[in-house]
Amino acid sequence: MGTDILFLLISIVLSAAGQILLKYGVMGVGNIDFRVGNLFSTLLTTFTNVWVLLGVICFVTSMVLWLKVISTMELSKAYPSVSLSYVIVFIFSAIFFNEGVSIGKFAGLASIMVGIFLLQR
**Contact in structure between 108 and 83 (CB atoms under 8 Å):** no
Residues 6-47: tens digit of each pLDDT: 999 999 999 999 999 999 999 988 888 777 888 888 888 888
**Contact in structure between 47 and 26 (CB atoms under 8 Å):** no
Tell if the pTM clears 0.95, that is, is over it: no
Number of domains in the chain: 1
Range of the domain at 71: 2-120
CA 109, CA 44: separation in Å to the nearest integer? Answer: 36
pLDDT of residue 1: 56
pLDDT at 111 > cutoff 60 = yes
Residues 39-87: tens digit of each pLDDT: 888 888 888 999 999 999 999 999 999 999 999 998 988 888 898 999 9
